[in-house]
Amino acid sequence: MKEFQPSDAIKRLPDQFFATLVNKLNTYQQKGHDLINLGQGNPDQPTPDHIVKSLQKAAENPINHKYPPFQGFEHLKEAVATFYKREYDVDIDPSSEVSILFGSKAGLVELNQCFLNPGDIALVPDPGYPDYWSGVALAEGVMEPMPLREENGFLPDYNEIDPDVLAKAKLLFLNYPNNPTGAVANPEFFEETIQLANQNDFCVVHDFAYGAIGFDGQKPLSFLQMPGAKDVGVEIYTMSKTYNMAGWRIAFAVGNKSVVKALDVIQDHYYCSLFGAVQDAAATALLDSQQCVEDLRAAYEQRRNLLEEGLKDAGYETTPCKGSFFMWLKAPEGFTSESFADALLKETGLFVAPGIGFGTYGESYVRIGLNNSEEKLKDAIGRFKQFKSNH
């Protein structure tokens, strides 16, 4: 069979980190190993019943069997605006400041194609979500990593960035609560970011995937709550984590009108908008009771407390997890992130994500997900203790 050569764009793409992790996990599962998957960020709880029922009802509506409007239904955009006003006291114009996305991952990749020409610079967090890299590669951009260090609360230090690089940057990606470190942002940091964006004329993209998951009584801060934020950027919010709708593939971008317009334009060429029933169910999720969200947040906090206490008791060094559903654990002395993850898998059946997969500054850490029952996490703690005693 003839083998066709892929385009240069395909060749530029980095290896898909999460796909590689899943393949490794599947290999061990097929061999019958007793595994606990702590490596993926896949919500383990089902979508709340009232959202599922909304989808079922909407699927019976013949209007949803037709092509939806290219840029999404207005009633969903109005629901997004209502959600942002209720949750963050942020005013959003549904007609010009909301773009409906096929999941946040798609939007994050598309933004690079919207605003980067070949050779343009995108500032990305290191460690950070690997698909930021994919978007930059497809757009033939240049990625400039911003180190996230524990001593700085896993916030980038803008003073470390070369002023010439800042002047040439077109995009800056942020993500708080942070994947993979569990850190959160403060108002002073976002204010500094807005000032820097104004000075250097780049667009800020805040990936707010874990916006609903904050701990210790602290609600995560929306970038758009800061004065002037809409002038310099957008926030990407996904339904996946807040409402356990990961498989539904729906998210939205809110903020700067020119960025929203560019996203709508590129998506007009990729898609014909989302299935209308999914849009209806998403509106239900945003507008109805948020008790399910609070219950989910509380469950993650309880799991975090259990895991944090157990790991510390076993002699491991954890970093503060203030939000998201991930913990960032230091590898024991003598191990790299990959050798620690491999040893855990082979010796105990614990599957964790090596930090190097999130960037150079992820070395010496592993990411642990909170997407398991307390019973499973107790089992995991026992295996971590056994590993420690063996080494």
Shared domain for 33 and 131, answered yes or no, is no
pLDDT, position 94 = 98
For residues 92 and 201, membership in a common domain is answered with yes
Q: How far apart are CA 233 and CA 255, in angstroms?
A: 6
**What phi and psi values does residue 154 have, to the nearest 5 degrees?**
55, 35
Q: Does a structural domain hold residue 265?
A: yes
**Integer Cα distance of 53 and 60 in angstroms:** 11
pLDDT per residue as tens digits for the range 135-174: 999 999 999 999 999 999 999 999 999 999 999 999 999 9
Domain boundary among 287, 322, 343: 287
81 belongs to a structural domain: yes
Beta bridge partners of 98: 254
304 DSSP 8-state letter: H
Give me the CATH number covering residue 129: 3.40.640.10
What is the spatial distance between Cα 203 and Cα 190, in angstroms, rounded to a whole number?
Answer: 13
What 3-state DSSP class applies to 218? coil
Tell me, yes or no, whether 13 and 135 share the same domain.
no
Q: Name the residue among 308, 333, 310 with its Cα closest to residue 319.
A: 308
Radius of gyration over every alpha carbon of the chain, rounded to an integer in angstroms: 21
Claim to verify: residue 283 and residue 217 sit in the same structural domain: yes
Both 242 and 281 in one domain: the answer is yes
pLDDT digits (tens, 9 = 90+) for 276-330: 999 999 999 999 999 999 999 999 999 999 999 999 999 999 999 999 999 999 9
127 shares its domain with 104: yes
Is the peptide bond between 46 and the residue preceding it cis, with omega within 30 degrees of 0?
Answer: no
Pair 195, 259 in one domain = yes
Total number of domains constituting the chain: 2
Q: Is residue 20 included in any domain, yes or no?
A: yes
Both tokens of 106, joined, read 């798609």
pLDDT of residue 32: 67
Amino acid at 234: V
Cα→Cα distances 223→200, 226, 228, 324, Å? 18, 6, 10, 16
Q: Which residues of the chain fall short of a pLDDT of 70?
A: 17-18, 28-29, 31-32
Please tell me whether residues 13 and 82 are part of one structural domain: no
Q: Give the pLDDT of residue 15.
A: 76
Instruction: Please report whether residue 52 resides in a domain.
Output: no
Residue 240 has what pLDDT?
97
In this structure, how many other beta carbons lie within 10 angstroms of the beta carbon of residue 23?
Answer: 10
- Could you identify the residue written with the tokens 């940091």? 189
Place of tokens 């395909």: 10
- Omega before 220 within 30 of 0, i.e. cis: no
pTM of the model: 0.96
Is 59 inside any structural domain? no
379 and 295 housed in the same domain: yes
* Crossing angle of the two packed helices 374-390 and 337-348, in degrees rounded to 10: 110
Same domain membership, residue 226 and residue 160: yes
Token pair 């805040």 is at which residue? 206
User: Residue 184: inside a domain, yes or no?
Assistant: yes
Q: Which domain holds residue 356?
A: 8-47+291-390
User: Which CATH number characterizes residue 386's domain?
Assistant: 3.90.1150.10
DSSP reduced 3-state for 2: coil
Distance, CA of 326 to CA of 209 (rounded, Å): 12
Task: Decide if 324 is inside a domain.
Answer: yes
Please indicate, yes or no, whether residues 101 and 32 belong to a single structural domain of this protein.
Answer: no
Among left, alpha and beta (phi > 0; psi -120 to 50; other), residue 249 is left
**The pair of three-digit structure tokens given for residue 182, joined into one six-digit string:** 């569990």
Distance, in Å, from the CA atom of 163 to the CA atom of 166, rounded to the nearest integer, reads: 5
- Residue 144 shares a structural domain with residue 205: yes
Query: Could you give the CA distance from residue 365 to residue 181 in angstroms, rounded to a whole number?
Result: 9
Domain boundary among 264, 287, 310: 287
pLDDT of residue 24: 72
Residue ending a domain, choose from 287, 322, 357: 287
**Domain membership flag for residue 55:** no
CA proximity to 143, closest of 131, 153, 154: 131
The answer to whether 275 and 349 are in contact (CB under 8 A) is: no
